[in-house]
Amino acid sequence: MQRLSSIGLCVGLSIYALPVLAETVVPLKGQTSQQIQQDINDCHATANQGTSTSTPATGGRVRGAAVGAAAGAAGAQVRGRQHDEFYDRVDDDVKQEYRQNRARETAAAGAVVGGARQRQERRAQRNAESTSSSAYTSCLQGKGYQVTP
């Protein structure tokens, strides 16, 4: 009965220690419940040591579009000023429309770039989480536990 209660404790602690990963940890060397808890905590800390726990990447497209729009409008203004003799003769509404068109075009490009960056950040985060999970499992196996998903 003591063996069964330590296994139950181990399963409960493994779910508590890593709520994202529903793994079953079974002691193979008759470890006590205190030893199981200590090993799980140690392995969890070791696995998270090399990874960062940043928040998921969000809003990349919106940020990219905003940056692109600002850059497009500013660039249109600069290009217009390079040709002062013609630019000054153009109606203010036409200037505004030109700046808005450039802002719209570069906002679209910025949204694409922002989306690509966001996808790269998410991929990197998933890889870090996978590496952390592998390190945790390897650590526990090295301490004499069977770990199953």
Q: What value does the mean pLDDT take over residues 107-121?
A: 85
pTM above 0.85, yes or no: no
pLDDT of residue 38: 92
The closest of 69, 73, 54 to 118, measured between CA atoms, is 54
43 in Cβ contact with 67 (< 8 Å) = no
Expressed in angstroms, the distance from the first to the final Cα of the chain is 24
Q: Which tens digit of pLDDT belongs to each residue from 17-30?
A: 444 456 788 899 88
Residue with the two structure tokens 């203010």:
92
Q: Which of 34-38, 52-56, 124-128 has the highest mean pLDDT?
A: 34-38
Q: CB-side exposure of 62: number of CA atoms within 13 Å?
A: 3
Per domain, the residue ranges of the chain are: 2-53+140-148, 60-129
Q: Which helix (H) or strand (E) holds 55?
A: none
